[in-house]
Structures are given as structure tokens and as C-alpha cells.
A and B are shown apart, each in its own frame.
Chain A
Amino acid sequence: MINKKRPETLSNIKGLTIVELLITISVGSLVIMMLMSILSSTLFTKNIVEHENRLKTEAYYISEYLQETIFDLGVRSIESEYITDEDGYDHEVLILRHEYEIIQSERTGIIRRDYDDQRTYILHHDHETQNLYYGPSESFSDNPENVGFSNRSNFRINDLQVNIEPNNNGRTLNYKPIIRGVFQGQERAAGAIIEMDLQLSFGEQDSPVFQPQSFYSTIVF
């Protein structure tokens, strides 16, 4: 008869007691909970940082766009004006007179300054579309029925980089810019400071996903 006696070592394996199992589960749960809370807070913070970065990038972009345009075309004077539309809303527009226009010769391709063409540009914040526009005065209408640029998409200076990472996941980017020239007691100046306070947020204007952020910038010219 074959001896089927189990090896001595195996007979000692009794498995975990219920107490040991409970301890293992509770310790394991504690570790997992700790890791999960860290992971969750990391993801939450990452989301906030991504949105803040996106808003900051937008603030940098608008500020630098204006700055470069103003410097490139040599602003000669600045004027502030209020235009009241038919709804009684006051549009503050900044009128910037440039020293010259930059033109390129079709024949030689050479770029030069044309001092005979002193363009006037207008910086306008449309409170309906919440967008910023900067374009030549010829394209701007001060008619109370339709204050603004005739072809707005050509002169919009914000939200031009919608594909910039991180993607805003289809959320709309809201602008509430407060832009004003700093004048020394007058509404016109030959050299001035532009103060910009951009209130940017994601989501619907009345219910933003995150608190709107305020970005203050100055341009001296």
C-alpha cells in the first residue's frame, strides 16, 4: 500500500486568521486611500494649473500683441473716447495714432516705413462678444446702432490660439478686459501708459468653472 501521507511542511500551512486578514485589508485600505487622495489632489491641482497656464498664456499673448503692434508702428499719440450705443452702454475706445505705416515693395520685397501714411488705430472691447479688437479706424463704426468693427473676425486679438495646449476641452474662454490709458489730467497724450486688467475665466460667463483670474499689465510708449 502506498503511503499517501502529506509532507510535513504542507500540513503546517493554515492560512491567514480572520484577524490577520482584517488587519491586512485595513492597512491596505489605508495605504490605497492615502495614495488615492494624493492622486486625486494631484489631478485636481494639475487641472487648475493647466487652466491657469492657459489663462496666463492668453494674458501674455494679448499684452505682447498690443505692445509689439504699438512699438512697431510707433504710436504718436493716444486718445480716450466714450461712445454710447443705443442700449445706453458706454464703450471706452482708445484711439492710437501711429507715426507711420509699414509697407513692402511689391517689386523688391523691401519693407520700409511710410511716414505719409499715419494710420489711426482703435482698441475696442466689445461688451457683447467679450472680445478685444484692434484695427484701423476706417473699419470702425461709431454708429450707436452698431458700435464696433465692421469685420470683427479680422481684428480680434484674443482667442487666436485656441489650439494651444492644454486644450480647454471645448470650454469657452471669457474676457472682461478693463483697458484704459493713463493720462496726465487730459484725455490725450503724446506718450502714455496703457493699463490692462484682463479678467479671464473658463466656462459660462455667469457660472465659470474656476474663479475668474485678474491679470494686470502695463505698456509704456
Chain B
Amino acid sequence: MKNKNGGFTLVELFAVILIASTILIPLLSGYINNFTANNRMHERKAASSIAISSIEAFDKINYSHLFDILYSDDTDTYEAVRFDDAPIAKLQYGDCALLPWDVDEDDDIEDDEDFLQTISSEEICEYIFNLTVANRSFDENEFEVYLYPFRMTEEEKNNISDDIPETVQSEIELVPQRQEDDTMMAAMRITTRIIYDSERGNEYILNGVITSGYDSEEFFIPEESDD
């Protein structure tokens, strides 16, 4: 009788734990996976909403200021955001200081009775990179914007920097070819890249077009000098 009431052996105990674990682990992992998938879905939703907002809001920035980022001769100022050999620029939160803080007088709406304050390009830029949807915003490492011409020459496309993420490169490669005599650039393309799940490298890419809003010939690519 004493031998029979000796309790469970260690092997029996391990067997029970093993069986219980075999049942519980798949249940719990499935449970956790559902939470992760649900969370990722919300992250993606927030990323898509912010990407759409950012492209719309970039269109509110004075076009000539964005034009300067791509084409200005002042290479020292814009060196940090430009890529070599192709007119492509990458903007993040910290780059907003490149845009003017002051508001141009032309930006004010003149036909209104009272003076209406217009937000400067730098402020709009900062607000864009701080966009929040349902408590979710993306930081400097997760949210970046690429500016590039509406059309590009074959040479420019061949010189796309390898520093640009492949997903963005593939979008830029789809840009229609620019003819030699086509120099008017009253529109440029914008690609927003938001990494909403850095663990898995999931990102949201959205393309758009920004126009000058004027039917003027103000925006030309600077002619190359002979020397």
C-alpha cells in the first residue's frame, strides 16, 4: 500500500506538463497572433491615412519652395536632402528647416476683407511630419517623403542612387520619359514611405503629383552651362 501511494513520479509529472503545454501553446500562440495581426492592421490603416493626408498637405506648400529643393543652384543648402546625379530629394521631419519660415506676401488672400494668416512652408512641413490619426503618428525613422520630377530622362533614371529604398526606386522607375525639349516643370511627383511595422519591414508607399497651380512658365529646369 505504501508503494502504491507514493505519488507521481517525475516522469509522470513531466508527461502531464508536456501534454498540457502541447494543448496550451498552440492556443496561446494563436491568441497572440490574432492580437498582433489586429494591431498591424490598425498600424497600416493609420499609415495609409497619414500618407494620403501628407500628399494632399504637401500640395499646400508653396510650389517654388519645393522646386528649389530639387533644382536650386544653391547645392550647399540642399546637399543633405538631394541624391547625386539625379534630381531626387528625400525629406524627413528634421529637413523642414530648409523651407522658408516667413510667409510670402503673395500667399495672402487679397480679396478677403481682413488679413488672413497663411501658414509658412516650414510650419506646414512640420505639421505634416507630425500628422496623427487616432493617436498614431510616425517618427523620423518611419516617415519619409521623396520628391522627383514629373518626367525624367533615361540618364537620370539610370543614376538613381542605391541609397534610395528599392520600393521607392521601383516607383521612380515608372516615371514617364522626358524629351530633350521638355523643360517646363510645373509639376513634380511625390512618394510617401511610411514604415508601419519596423519589425517585419512592412511599409506603406503612396505616390502623388504636386502642381504649381499656375499656368505660367515660371518653372523651368535650369539650363546647363557650356563649361
Contacts and interface: CB of A to CB of B under 8 A. Distances in A.
Counting chain B CB atoms within 10 Å of each CB, which of A183, A191, A192 scores highest?
A191
Interface stretch (A63-71, A87-95, A132-140): A63-71
B212 to A, nearest CB: 16
A169 interface: no
Nearest to A39: B27
A86 B45 CA distance: 42
B27 A38 contact: yes
Contact of B119 (A67, A189, A217): A189
Interface stretch (A3-11, A53-61, A101-109, A119-127): A53-61
Contacts of B38: 49, 53
Contacts of A17: 4
Given A60-B49, A64-B49, A214 B135 contact: yes
A19 B5 contact: yes
B35 A49 contact: yes
Interface stretch (B74-82, B125-133, B145-153): B125-133
Nearest to B46: A60
B128 A220 contact: yes
A67 B48 CA distance: 13
A152 interface: no
A216 interface: yes
Counting chain A CB atoms within 10 Å of each CB, which of B49, B52, B117, B132 scores highest?
B117
Contacts of A192: 119
Nearest to A186: B117
B20 A190 contact: no
Contacts of B174: none
Interface in A153-203: 183-186, 188-193
Interface in B78-124: 107-109, 112, 114, 116-119, 124
A220 B118 contact: no
A171 B223 CA distance: 66
Given A27-B16, A38-B27, A220 B117 contact: no
Nearest to B108: A190
Contacts of A76: 109
Nearest to A78: B116
A3 B1 CA distance: 33
Contact of B124 (A35, A188, A191): A191
B183 interface: no
A35 B19 CA distance: 13
Contacts of A221: 56-57, 60
Interface of A: 17, 19, 27, 31, 34-35, 38, 42, 49, 53, 56, 59-60, 63-64, 67, 71, 76-77, 183-186, 188-193, 214-221
Interface of B: 4-5, 16, 20, 23-24, 27-28, 31, 35, 38, 42, 45-46, 49, 52-53, 56-57, 60, 107-109, 112, 114, 116-119, 124, 127-128, 130-135
12 contacts: A56-B134, A60-B133, A60-B134, A63-B49, A189-B116, A190-B109, A191-B119, A193-B119, A216-B132, A216-B134, A220-B124, A220-B127
Given A67-B49, A191-B60, 12 more contacts: A34-B20, A38-B27, A49-B35, A53-B38, A56-B134, A60-B46, A60-B134, A67-B52, A215-B134, A218-B132, A220-B53, A220-B57
